[in-house]
Structure 1
Amino acid sequence: MANRSKTSMRIGVSTVCIACALAGVVQGGNLTIPDIQYTESPDGASPYNGKVVDCSGGIVVAKVAGGRPRLFLQDPNALDGWGAIQVKGWASDAFASVAVGDWVEMQQVFVEEYRGTTFLQYWDENSDGSRPILRVVSSGHRLPRALVVDVNEIEAPEYLPLEDAWLVANHRAERLESMLLQIRDVGVVERDLGKAQDNYELQSFREPNDTGARCWASDYSNQDRQKPDLYVPEIEAGRRLRAVTGVLEQYTNLGEGFDYYQLLTLSEKSLVGLCSADLDQDGDADLWDYKLFTEQLLVPSLPPVGDLNHDGKVDSTDLDLFNAAWQQADVNGDGIVDGDDLDI
């Protein structure tokens, strides 16, 4: 074990992992994020785990405050996976001069696997005496578009009663670790899951009978979450969402019975609810919804799903609200509210 005196960051660290004490320096040019992240190891560990490297970096797609603040860097050229990585700071103000949209590169940074996630450690000093360097190369970059994935690509863990553990069946989501992702057409099934009981389970409402079409998410990194609440207000059992966007993190602690992936939402914009004109709540606003509204406008019936202003009747006021909601959500103007509007 090793002791370090943290001077410029004013943080004391009493212990570090053995791998850090044995750290080697990788010779050669800058590594890309995919160079560091790509692995064929069953445990998902980076081949550079325990090494000091130079990294050409990527765009800051998320910045999470705290005593151990974090940056999520993503390489916009890595479209199919292995394209993002987390940087952990060891002082609350470590990234005060960094903004979302900056391109950040790093030199002499230690790569470490911790709780299933690959980190670049931005502390004061490595065990070999070198100091990590973080540099903002340029600013104002447009963020990479969130990669749209099926829910089953970041499949939820299964509860194994004999082990009293929540474990993911496979790690095919490893290539998506720390990347900006989006899932669509999901409903909130259950809350109070996971190590901190702050996870919730999302199920595809287009595949309600597919037990694999589920994933876990969390709002603990959501800047609009009101503390001490664990969730943003949209997260209620039974609520359907057109889209959920976030960065993917793995949490592994087999000693406590956990190994799962979680989609971390970042702000209130991370969650897109159903269009209020989507009366049948199938994720689209289309002619079926218009037919349903017209029927209720002409012949009152229960439940009055067309009563958008909740005054107990379906009338011309609701028609105005129905049309306004449809037009606002139909971003591409093709007359239908669907996934294509989320792509713009």
Structure 2
Amino acid sequence: MLESQSGTIKTQQTPKWLIYGANGYTGRLIAKDAVKQGLEPILAGRNDQEIAPLAIELGLSYRIFDLADQDIVNQALADINLVVLCAGPFSSTSKAVVSACINQGTHYLDITGEIDVFTAIFAQHQAAKAANVVLCPGVGFDVIPTDCIAATLKNALPDANYLALGFDNKSQLSPGTMKTAIEGVKLGCKIRENGIIKTVPLGYRQRKIDFGNGLKQAVTIPWGDVATAYFSTHIPNIEVYIPLSPASIHRLRRLRWYRPLLSLSPIQRFLKYQASRKCRGPSEQERLQSKVYVWGEVKNDQGDIKQAYLTTPNGYQLTVAGTLLAVQHLLHYRGEGGYFTPSQLMGRNTIESLPGTSRIKVISGTFKTNTQAL
């Protein structure tokens, strides 16, 4: 493990926290905003040529280590109070970091949206509780807004047994997000049915939804809330939607035929390499100007329905703000350990405290049976 102190050396009483994957698109944004807030994270990753210059630019310490060796990861986190994992796909990176956090008594945050990662980390709840360690994945756009809407709707309709969530987001994707999406294609779509996560074909269901900016055709996607909203609400049936044009829905469904090919390791490596080369994420101007419309709906057996609406800044802006809010929360945390969703850890109104975000509006609605499964 390579380590350098290029910033102020902290006292032993000062909690230490670390950003792993600080050289990525979102990791850089989090590191730079952390410094603006007067925080001093240790930057970390496996690429010395990218981490070191960023640390020097920001006046921060840095550590270089790979996640392939569990003993090295344990050693790297031995004196760390909190780690924020920003290196994806998280299916490849989270296991070693979560294990080290439990072993070393280090709180864990990440910005994943991967369903399988959420469920794998949830399975570590008892171990984390015994170690008095907080595990809270998904403290960015995945999944703070939708998780808070889910918890708010559950509070509004306690006997709900169906939950639909969705968002309308026009932002360009970062390399890391695109790599995760490429990996997700081979896994198919996911919904939760009768409490169980179920794999269904891509573009499985479509319906018309007003996300807060007009009625649009929408389709199911494998979003993290299929896992996390269940942990927050215990609602047994969950789907997540995004708006797509009819032509885009048709193209998405055509991918069903190519899933075996897209699952091959050489194809996955090639597509992820292309994502690294061609995806740059939104510019600063795009991040500051765009916003996201977030929606949710619950229904009970009697046909009662509640809907909720929320607007947020660009997803990457929200991820930075949400992550740093969670960091501040855990650096002063005195509660018990275990697995938490963002709404469980910081409260269902957490989203409303983030800059540029509206209050959640809950209304009573009429359930329309216009959902199609194909």
TM-score, normalized by length of structure 1?
0.25
Richer in helix (by share): 2
Task: Report 1 or 2 for greater relative contact order, CA contacts < 8 Å, sequence distance ≥ 6.
Answer: 2
- Structure number with bigger Rg: 1
